[in-house]
A and B are shown apart, each in its own frame.
Chain A
Amino acid sequence: MDGKGKTTALYNRGMNDEAYKVTVAKDLEDLIPAFMRNRNKELETLKLALAAADFEQLRQLGHRMKGVGNSYGFAHVSVLGQGIEDGARSGDRASLESHIAQYGDYLSKVQIAFE
């Protein structure tokens, strides 16, 4: 299975209700509003970059998502980032569209608990 297929499979496998639930350390709670704002801005930038077929920017954004998602406990952000980075590298527009749509869906539904 190639990287793109793996990413999609992982995402689909995990996208039950539980996958939208994220637990973040209580002492990071004050960082989360800015984190979420930046992710939503990122989503808009991704859409613009896709419309402009700017694959280099898409690759950079995907890479950044991959790095930051897990660090905050948002594993799916990293998974989708990997998919976007892979899609941008291979110029796979359909895969990029799918991953960006999934990202929008994820951001609109994610539920955050602080422990």
Chain B
Amino acid sequence: MRILIIDDDVDLRNLLERYIRQQWPESQVDQYDPLDHDIPGASFALGSYDVVILDYMLGRGDGLQWLQEFKRRADCPPILFLTGAGNEIIAVRAMKAGADDYQRKQELTRERLITSVRDLTASTSERTLSPELAARMEGQSLGARMQIPGIKVLHLIGEGGMSRVYLASREGDDEPLVVKILRSEVMSDRNALARFMEEYALVERIQSRHVARIYTHGASEGHAYLVMEFFEGGDLNKRLGGKALPAEEAVRLFRDLMFALGDIHEKGILHRDLKPQNLMFRTDGSLAVVDFGIAKHIDAADRTGHGEILGTPRYMSPEQVQGRALDLRTDIYSAGVLLFQMLTGRHLFDGATAVEVALHHLNTPPPGLPEPLARYQRLLDKLVEKDRDARFRNADEVIGFLSRLYFQAAPATAADKTQKLLH
């Protein structure tokens, strides 16, 4: 295998070469420094490479222009395009210009690089041998076939139990978007499909800056899809990174979550699956809730395979564990569990199995906060009360409590308060 790495940073070139050589010791890796050389001319044997790894910012050159030039050539091999994190519009343009895959440089791990190169170089026979590769290829193929008015589906970026997730762009302005396409297994369950469409029709009507914007939904190629906003700031799980947040930041985010819940509950919708992966951040730092009403379906068929078995039980209310009828207070409890995690960096309850964690929610008194966080204990106690009648009744009550205790010196600004968005 021959691979060409084009990047203006020698350390990054060396690192990528190391990863590739470790995985494929027989491979030949060539480095190309755009600070020393202009774009390779017609005499450059581009076609002798199996993959080109091309950076966006090349110091003196523009990686997108290089990509377009390469793609005009008949001998152009697959191209893995590297973009800066938080710059998804470039990824959109790269995919539209013909890049075969893209990676955010800041998040480029050994595993991601190898997976990407393997995908781009795998022969047809290899693909049929690997179920994982075959599934990804199937996902890519489905995305390419989808016909969504005004939207171009570009690239598979994630797979969940219910749906596949794609980077997409809005025609006209290249605005990055996310398209979620329901899996065929879910499509064949008429009840599940009906619930999905019904719930998202409701969510589309929530106009809150603390809730992910859903632009449209529909069906194409026999698959239901949603088009929603893309979050460049990642999710709370990423922000936490297994550690606590500064208390002020944790409480501020929690208050944003309460504003979101207020708007969601006002429409008669329960989220039921609040967890760090469902709290997303925009580039301006604002928080938005995603994935409504999916929780109960995901629980039944979680095929993520990413060790997330405990994900939902960790944030379940006692009444959820018991399978009782739910009301607003179930989300209040889950939000309390999230607040504990943001403040301490730890889960409220741990356990070896999902059942063990769920039973803790039913029977075990929650651990107290460490002394430096004692001022938040009353708040937390009233959020994670096992008896829901003793819990805060709704988000407004929590916001009132927060305002009295923690935000008196710094009242909510107009921007903090719930705003309705005009789509």
List residues of A whose CB falls within 8 A of some B CB: 1, 3, 6, 13, 27-28, 31, 34-35, 38, 60, 63-64, 66-72, 78
Whether B417 sits at the interface, judged by CB under 8 Å, is: no
Give the interface SS of chain A, mostly helix, strand, loop or mixed: helix
| Distance between A92 CB and nearest chain B CB, rounded to angstroms | 18
B residues with CB within 8 A of A: 8-12, 14-15, 18, 22, 55, 57, 59, 82, 84-85, 105-108, 246, 283-285
A68 with B9: CB separation less than 8 A? yes
| Given contacts A1-B285, A64-B9, A78-B106, A71 and B15 within 8 Å (CB-CB) | yes
- Whether the pair A66, B84 counts as a contact (CB closer than 8 A) is yes
Are B9 and A31 interface neighbours, CB within 8 A?
no
- Asked if residues A67 and B14 are in contact (CB atoms below 8 Å), the reply is no
User: Which residue, of B10, B22, B106, has the highest number of chain A Cβ atoms within 10 A?
Assistant: B106
Q: Tell me whether chain B's interface is mostly helix, strand or loop, or mixed.
A: mixed
Closest-CB distance, B246 to chain A (whole angstroms) = 6
Closest residue of chain B to A28 (Cβ to Cβ) is: B18
| A27 x B105 contact (CB < 8 A) | no
Q: For residue B16, which residue of chain A has the nearest CB?
A: A71
Is B8 within 8 A of A64, CB to CB?
Answer: yes
Docked complex Cα distance between A69 and B283 (Å):
20
Cross-chain pairs A/B with CB under 8 angstroms, 7 sampled: A34-B10, A60-B57, A63-B84, A64-B9, A68-B15, A71-B106, A72-B11
Partner of B15, one of A1, A13, A28, A66: A28
What residues of chain A lie closer than 8 Å to B8, measured between beta carbons?
Answer: 64
Q: How far does the Cβ of A66 sit from chain B's closest Cβ, in whole Å?
A: 6
Chain B residues whose CB sits within 8 angstroms of the CB of A60 once the complex forms: 57, 59
A71 to B112, CA, bound (A): 12
Interface centre among A1, A6, A70, A72 (most CB of B within 10 A): A70
Q: Please determine whether A27 and B22 come into contact, CB atoms closer than 8 angstroms.
A: yes
Please name all residues of chain A whose beta carbon is closer than 8 Å to the beta carbon of B11 when the two chains form the complex.
Answer: 31, 34-35, 38, 68, 72
A6 to B286, CA, bound (A): 12
Q: Find out whether the CB atom of A71 lies under 8 angstroms from the CB atom of B10.
A: no
> Contacts of A35 on B, CB cut-off 8 Å?
11
A63–B18 CA distance with the chains assembled, in angstroms: 22
Contact A66 B106 (CB under 8 A): yes
User: What chain A residues lie within 8 Å of B12 (beta carbons)?
Assistant: 67-68, 71
Bound CA span A66–B8, Å: 13
Which chain B positions have C-beta within 8 A of A78?
A: 106
**Complex CA–CA separation, A6 to B105 (angstroms):** 20
| Chain A residue at minimum C-beta to C-beta distance from B283 | A3
Q: Contact partner of A67 among B10, B106, B283, B285, CB < 8 A?
A: B106
Tell me, in angstroms, the Cα distance from A104 to B399 when the chains sit together.
43
- Taken together as a complex, chains A and B put the C-alpha atoms of A35 and B57 apart, in Å, by 20
Q: How far, in whole Å, are A67 and B105 apart by their CA atoms in the complex?
A: 6
* Nearest-CB residue, chain A, relative to B7: A67
A34 and B59 contact, CB distance less than 8 A = no
Q: Apart from A38-B11, A70-B106, A71-B15, list 9 A-B contacts with CB within 8 A.
A: A27-B18, A31-B14, A64-B8, A66-B105, A67-B82, A68-B11, A71-B12, A72-B11, A72-B15
Residues of B within 8 A of A27 (CB): 18, 22
Contact A70 B22 (CB under 8 A): no
Residues of A within 8 A of B107 (CB): 70
Collect the chain A residues with CB atoms within 8 Å of residue B283's CB.
3
CA distance A3 to B284 in the complex (A): 8
Q: Cβ of A31: which chain B residues have Cβ within 8 Å of it?
A: 11, 14-15, 18
